[in-house]
Every structure is written in structure tokens, then in C-alpha cells.
Amino acid sequence: NGSVVIAGAGMAGVQTAVALREQGWTGPVTLLGAEPHQPYDRPPLSKAVLLGKAEDSAFDVDFEGLGITLRLGVEVTGLRPADRELDTEAGPVPYGVLVLATGAEPLTLPGAEGVPGVHLLRTLDDAARLRPVIARAPATVVVGAGWIGAEFATAAREAGCAVTVVEAADRVLAGALPAEVAAAMGRWYGEIGADLLTSARVASVEAGRVLLADGRELPAGAVVVGIGARPATRWLAGSGVELGPDGSVTADAHLRTSVPGVYAVGDCASFPSARYGARLLVHHWDNALQGPRVVAANILAGEPVETYDPVPYFWSEQFGRFVQYAGHHADADTLLWRGDPAGQAWSVCWLRAGAMVAILAVGRPRDLAQGRRLIEAGSTVDPARVADPETPLKAA
Ligand code: FAD
């Protein structure tokens, strides 16, 4: 059976199908997606789509012209590798090669599921439900000061909502950035008139209000929960595909899973990075663009010819700022500021053993582009020059 079947029709699934055709795969390609909508891009959901500035964000891909069979509204419920078959609501689907691209699903707030006025923000349907809500400008409580919380708070303020953000950690982006960087970014909430409550725990959510563990009560015409996402891999239980403790499919360096003929890519999969000496689970758009090219190349060759070891990259638009990040700073030994964190534009660079390993750029896209090249090349840099925002970033 020379057919490729892709489970999940989001960015990673669509890009895998497109990359297969671009690279010359002539066999059948089938894309199975649980959602009924034409495949779409998620980043605009917390930005233009939410504010009604864009109607939708469907990918501009001619599936028919590319000979890609698109089966929408079909949820995959199981995998039987011995039979080389997927189970779906619409019956079994045989495959020759299978690509897992089911993405991630948002974590829900215990006790808040099903309470009227409580929303998540992951799908087009979520954004379509939220759009008329924020247009009415209710008092809005955002749970979680991560990337989604920051972007949603920005959009809700723009729509005129009074916004209170409740964060359990003592700072914003606690899982992503060190305290001194997070402190600078936490100040942006106040600038747009959003209240940020850190070290604040939600005790319960009721229709119309949120109660905090310290007894405070927040009026809430709408509640948006943005507390993270986990790989959408529950359907793989018992299939023999190995999953990590974080729920990700533990792909190898060629994005192959533990089951022969089965690959995994995008938000659902982690991979070993030789570059960073760690297994990475990346929940960002660029990973769902780059990974599929490697998967397609390996499928075409019929053997592992390409390795996936990217410098991760993502961006966020929040509080009127363009924030970009490249690299991975977990084992950095030096943090250098480039510019004034109280200003509109600055960067932070992370070094390890004299080489740049990561950069966060706020309103400084040139720093990002230059820094990304240094990180990719593993170049050593002169810390004094790096710390001078007037000097371009270049190798020592
Ligand atoms: P997904 O986009 O989650 O797609 C997976 C698809 O598989 C979904 O359509 C799902 O319905 C389907 N599926 C799941 N389970 C099954 C099943 N059992 N059977 C069939 N189909 C199934 N990243 C950035 O870098 N910058 C940004 O500014 C940014 N903004 C974002 C804003 C929002 C609101 C969100 C939600 C994400 C944002 N991201 C951003 C992250 C980026 O969108 C994701 O990393 C990317 O969508 C991952 O693509 P994916 O295909 O792996 O997963």
C-alpha cells in the first residue's frame, strides 16, 4: 500500500501533504481532520480573526489541484499498526505510511468546564464564539498570563473590555522566560489598562464571577482560560506508539515514531535535539512548517535521509509590540540585555560558553534575524558588543 495518510489537518498535517507533492511524491495522500472547517491557520485566531478584522484564516492551498484527498469532520479514534489501519468515526482507513499530526488541545480549568461564559481559545469555533462576546465589551477575566493570555488580553482591551488577568505563578510567562525578562513584559499589562494579578489562584468559576483562593471576587461577563496545551494523543493509547510523560509522541531525530512506517510532527510530537542536548516539545507555528519538510523527505527516500534539529523560532503580537524568539535558553550561562527593558524596543541574548544560544527581540526584527544566524552557526560572540544595541549582532 503506497498511500500516505495524515491524521490531523492543521498546519503540520497540511504542510506535510504539500511538502510531499513539492518533493515529488506521486502516490495517494489523504488528510484526515476532525474539524469540519477548511484547514486554517491558528495564529490569527487570537489577533485579526478575534477582532473581526479577518473573517477566517483558511490556508491558501489547492488540495484538489495537488491531488490531496481531504476528509474533514472525521475524527481518528485509534491506530492498529499490525493491520496498518486507523480507526475513524467513518470506519477504518488503511495506510502505507502514516503521519501523526493531531496537534495539541488546550488544558481546561478544573471545575470551569461547562460553566456558561467560560471559553478556550484554540479553534476557529472558539474564536467565532468569542468574537461577538468581546464585541459586547463585558468585564473579562483571563486565566493564565502566557502567550495566549497576553494576546487575548490585548485584543479584549482593544475591543473595550475591562480585563483582569489571573496568574497562579509570581510572574507572566513563568514557564517560558526567566524572572528579570518576565518582569519587563509583565509591565505591559498595566500600559493598556489591564489588571494583572500574579500569585493568584482561581478557587471557583461561576456564571458571572470568578472567586480567587484569597477570597477576592472578580465580576466576569466572560472568562477565557489560557493555561497551556497538551499533545492531542490520547487516541493513541494502546496503539504501541510510545508517548512521553508530557503526552507527546516521542519521535526520533528523523521524526519517526516507535512504530515502523509511522511519523509524527508538529505540536503533538517531541524530538531529540543534538543541538541543545535535550528532547524538545515545541508548540509554535514554525515547527509545524519545518518539521513536515523533513518528514516528506524521509518518506520519499523510504529511509531516514534527513534529521530534524532546528533552531526553534516563534513570534507573538501583544500590547502593541512584536515579540520574537529564536533558540533555546535552558542551559545558557549568560544573559545580556540589549537596550532598555523599560523602552519600546530591546532584546535579550543568551550565551553558553561564549556562543549565542537564544535571543528574544521586542520590536527589533533585525536583531532577531542576525541573532538567529549566529545561533544556527554556533558562532562565539563578544559580550560587550552584544550588549550594545547600536552595534549589529555578529560573530566575534
Ligand atoms: P494543530 O494546529 O493543533 O492542528 C491539529 C489538527 O488536528 C486540528 O485541526 C485538530 O482538530 C486535528 N485533530 C486532533 N485530533 C484529531 C483526531 N483524533 N482525528 C482527526 N483530527 C484530529 N505560534 C506562533 O509561533 N506564533 C503565534 O503568534 C501563534 N499564535 C497562536 C494563536 C492561537 C490562538 C493558537 C491556538 C496557537 C498559536 N500558535 C502560534 C501556535 C501554532 O498555531 C501551533 O504551533 C500550530 O497550529 C501547530 O500545528 P499542528 O498542525 O501541529 O497542530
pTM, full prediction: 0.97
Give residue 195's domain range.
108-225
Same domain, 124 and 101: no
Residue 232 CB less than 6 A away from ligand 1: yes
Cell digits of residue 243: 508517548
pLDDT band at 98 (very low <50, low <70, confident <90, very high): very high
Cell digits of residue 274: 543534538
Same domain, 207 and 247: no
- The answer to the question of residue 309 being in a domain is no
d(CA 240, CA 266): 20
Q: If you count them, how many residues does the chain have?
A: 396
- The answer to the question of residue 358 being in a domain is yes
- The answer to the question of residue 89 being in a domain is yes
1 pLDDT higher than 80: no
Q: pLDDT digit string (tens) for 334-346?
A: 999 999 999 999 9
Place of cell 491524521: 7
Which residue type sits at 224?
V
Same domain, 184 and 39: no
Same domain, 234 and 101: yes
* Secondary structure string (H, E, C) spanning 326-376: EECCCCCCEEEEECCCCCCCEEEEEEECCEEEEEEEECCHHHHHHHHHHHH
Residue 314 CB less than 6 A away from ligand 1: yes
Same domain, 30 and 8: yes
DSSP 8-state secondary structure symbol assigned to residue 58: B
Same domain, 146 and 185: yes
pLDDT band at 392 (very low <50, low <70, confident <90, very high): very high
Residues 6 or more apart in contact with residue 302 via CB below 8 angstroms: none
Same domain, 124 and 99: no
Cα 104 to ligand 1 centroid, rounded to whole Å? 6
The proportion of the chain whose per-residue pLDDT surpasses 70, expressed as a percent, equals 100
Q: pLDDT digit string (tens) for 18-48?
A: 999 999 999 999 999 999 999 999 999 999 9
Q: What is the pLDDT of residue 2?
A: 86
Q: What is the pLDDT of residue 108?
A: 96
Q: What is the pLDDT of residue 139?
A: 98
Cα 378 to ligand 1 centroid, rounded to whole Å? 30
Complex confidence, ipTM: 0.99
Q: Which atom of ligand 1 is nearest to the CA of 316?
A: 28
Report the residue among 11, 42, 51, 79 best suited for mutation to probe ligand 1: largest number of ligand atoms under 8 A from its CB.
42
Mean pLDDT on 244-252: 98
**Cβ(348)–Cβ(335) under 8 Å?**
yes
Same domain, 250 and 220: no
Q: Which atom of ligand 1 is nearest to the CA of 122?
A: 36
Q: Can you give the CATH number for the domain in which 117 is found?
A: 3.50.50.60
Domain ends where: 190, 207, 225? Answer: 225
Q: How far apart are the first and last CA of the chain?
A: 53
Same domain, 98 and 234: yes
d(CA 99, CA 31): 9
Residue 106 CB less than 6 A away from ligand 1: no
Same domain, 113 and 95: no
What is the sign of the dihedral through the CA atoms of 263, 269, 272 and 274? Answer: positive
Closest CA to 20 of 103, 104, 129, 96: 96
Mean pLDDT on 296-303: 97
Number of domains composing the chain: 3
Q: Which atom of ligand 1 is nearest to the CA of 77?
A: 18
Place of cell 513584559: 185
**Cβ(311)–Cβ(376) under 8 Å?**
yes
22: left (phi over 0), alpha (psi -120 to 50) or beta: alpha
Report the residue among 285, 311, 315, 368 best suited for mutation to probe ligand 1: largest number of ligand atoms under 8 A from its CB.
285
d(CA 338, CA 385): 9
Q: What is the pLDDT of residue 164?
A: 98
Residue 33 CB less than 6 A away from ligand 1: yes
Residue 13 CB less than 6 A away from ligand 1: yes
For atom 4 of ligand 1, which residue has the closest CA?
10
| Summary mean pLDDT of the chain | 97
d(CA 301, CA 297): 6
Q: What is the pLDDT of residue 44?
A: 97
**Cβ(29)–Cβ(299) under 8 Å?**
no
Same domain, 375 and 237: no
* Side-chain-facing half-sphere of 226: CA atoms under 13 Å: 24
183 pLDDT higher than 90: yes
Cα 11 to ligand 1 centroid, rounded to whole Å? 6
- The answer to the question of residue 392 being in a domain is no
Cell digits of residue 168: 497562579
Q: Which residues of 36-48 are buried (b: 16+ CB within 10 A; e: fewer)?
A: eeebbbbbbbbbb
